[in-house]
Amino acid sequence: MKRLPNYSLLWVSFIVFLCTGCNPASQLSVSSPDGNLCLHVETENGKLYYELSRNGKPILDKSRLGFILKEDTLAGHLEITEALHHSFSGTWEQIWGEDRIVENNYHEMTIRVQKTSAPKRKFNVVFRLFNDGFGFRYEFPEQEALKDFVIMDELTEFALTGDHKAWSIPYETHFYEALYEASPVSKLGWVSTPLTMETNDGLFLSIHEANLTDYAAMNLIPKEGSMTLKANLTPWSTGEKVFMKAPRVTPWRTMIVAESAGDLLLSRLMLNLNEPCRIQDTSWIQPGRYIGIWWTYHMHKHTWHTGPRHGATTANALRHIDFAARHGFQGVLIEGWNKGWDTYHFNFTEPYPDFDLKQITDYAASKGVTLIGHHETDGWVSDYENQLEAAFNLYKDHGVQIVKTGYVGKLLDGKERHSSQFGVRHYRKVIELAADKHIMIDNHEPVMPTGLQRTFPNLMTQEGVRGQEWDAWDKDGGNPPVHTTIIPFTRGLAGPMDFTPGTFRFENPVLPQTRVQTTLAKQLALSVVLYSPLQMASDEIENYERNPEPFSFITTCPTTWEQTIVPEAKIGEYVTIARKERGSSGRWFIGSITNEQPREMQLPLSFLDKGKRYKAVIYRDGDKADYRTNPYPVIIEEQEVTGESTLQIAQAPGGGTGIILSVLSSSGATSDIQK
């Protein structure tokens, strides 16, 4: 039985809490541990509000709290009956993640609220302030006056103090697969979260939610004539937002407050607001990299359904398994193996006749490779749930421990939105049953992630992003280079994303006007920049065989990390991320990317261990590389560096750089483990 350790722990509970940087006489205020952030709560004319400041300067003006219920309102005639405070300081260890050890330090205030009018229904609001932001959630305690109830609207507001620059996608975007656009807050429509903003004062804010459990996802909509954003929950098809039964809690409403764009990427606030791991034995949960029979479908070489060009055949699967074994990949994804692709009414336990599941899984096991299973539902979740246990049991019996799920139907069961309470309940059912069967999940067309991977680390990665597949079939030409310089700061803040980088061929015979709009070196760098503990190398294996030297960066790069730092970042322009490998090697992997503009990366290596020498293997754009006209040239070179070195590397338009830093021994060689 394996449990994650707490390395340090400090817990202090008390009724009256003195806030550094807040009004010391106010019981209704709470500060962050470093005293920079201060949150205050009050009632005015029977309505409940909160406000937030940083070093005395407002970030959020009076922002309303409360609900409209089907049978009542929890919006007016409110009074605060008590305020409770406590603090927590500790650390916890991630099974996989961007950092192995996570600090969890906060000050908390619980406000108990009651209606002054009969039947005097009650609720609480719990606020947690961290040094890098805050979260709050509502609690509905057990009470005679509120048992089963229906939420028709949540009144939560974020009353911003300026017309900040914001990066957003519309709420109505299918599966969150859109290009993030920058605009002033005043020009926003109904948008999804995370919503990331840059203030005129140089602060960076991002609004999202944590621990979305049996509730509707939160979206944001501006209140007319103001800089106030209001929570707007995804409704059921019948109009209700959430069906609840006390005692219950809502998800956390969160805001990261950071001094730089890079600091947004280092916040672990959302993870800290999720519950600790519920899986006692986590030894079977293994991050890694995989390939698949996938890109050939987009290139129309193969079909998902059976026929003369069927891709998921036994012979094709064995060929990919051999390739994976030669190059150290964990698994092979086979889409189109099961019956139903011709009608989109799927059978999750019956393979097509040309796919021998036992032969393939036995052969994969003999090669040290796993078959990655696939369940596309087309959004018919009731049909999927009826087959779910049998489908997982089939995979478990054949040693398949990773399953990619998909929901390409625009509505679940033809009527409910993916981010509704209906969808949230379904996704959780799949994750929990998968955990019971020792199966890891890669979920496509999901609800936007909210940190649930801390509680159920078998939820390895999710899509919910306009990924590399758009570079195969988007009639507008594919993802522009700027796209990957934005999504780490928007969708990436929600959790791991299965973007599937690693395409090496830039010609598209199906849609000649559409292709991957990067250089080859940028494709390598994306393996580091876009975090996912299960990461797919997207291209056909023949294209890797033709480019063995650049391919070596992908096969060497890990997918889980000891530590992550962000030396430089400007949203929409460039980002450089350095990640330290777990284990004793001491290696660092660096990914740096730019948008459509060329640039020169200047990277101080001050994060390296003092007194040690490193070999830097640099995969950079060739001198005449350009994503539009000449994407292929990659130069691979080596040099010796220390923590006092600064790397200066030119990046082409739409380009990037991948770097591996390995510790040198006293003799100037790398140890066996580092080669």
> Hey, which residues are catalytic here?
469
Cis peptide before 247 (omega within 30 of 0): yes
Q: How far apart are the C-alpha atoms of 155 and 169, rounded to whole Å?
A: 22
Q: How far apart are the C-alpha atoms of 477 and 487, rounded to whole Å?
A: 18
Give yes or no for a contact between 178 and 169, defined as CB atoms under 8 angstroms apart.
yes
3-state secondary structure of 387: helix
3-state secondary structure of 60: strand
Helix orientation angle between 314-327 and 357-366, rounded to the nearest 10 degrees: 10
Strands 242-245 and 148-154: antiparallel
Going by C-beta distance under 8 Å and a sequence separation of 6 or more, which residues neighbour residue 62? 44, 49, 50, 51, 159
Q: How far apart are the first and last CA of the chain?
A: 34
CB burial of 1-18 (b: ≥16 within 10 Å; e: otherwise) equals eeeeeeeeeeeeeeeebe
Of 25, 19, 273, whose CA–CA distance to 134 is shortest?
273
Q: How far apart are the C-alpha atoms of 207 and 490, rounded to whole Å?
A: 10
Going by C-beta distance under 8 Å and a sequence separation of 6 or more, which residues neighbour residue 672? none
Q: How many Å is the Cα radius of gyration of the chain?
A: 25
Torsions phi, psi for 542 (to 5 deg) = -65, -35
Q: How far apart are the C-alpha atoms of 211 and 174, rounded to whole Å?
A: 22
> Does an H or E element contain 50, and which?
strand 47-54
Q: How far apart are the C-alpha atoms of 89 and 227, rounded to whole Å?
A: 34
Going by C-beta distance under 8 Å and a sequence separation of 6 or more, which residues neighbour residue 96? 285, 287, 457, 460, 533, 559, 560
Specify which residues 111 forms β-bridges with. Answer: 83, 125
Strands 459-462 and 440-443: parallel
Report CA dihedral (173, 174, 180, 183) to the nearest 10 degrees: 0
Q: How far apart are the C-alpha atoms of 318 and 83, rounded to whole Å?
A: 63
Give yes or no for a contact between 659 and 617, defined as CB atoms under 8 angstroms apart.
yes
Q: How far apart are the C-alpha atoms of 594 and 216, rounded to whole Å?
A: 36
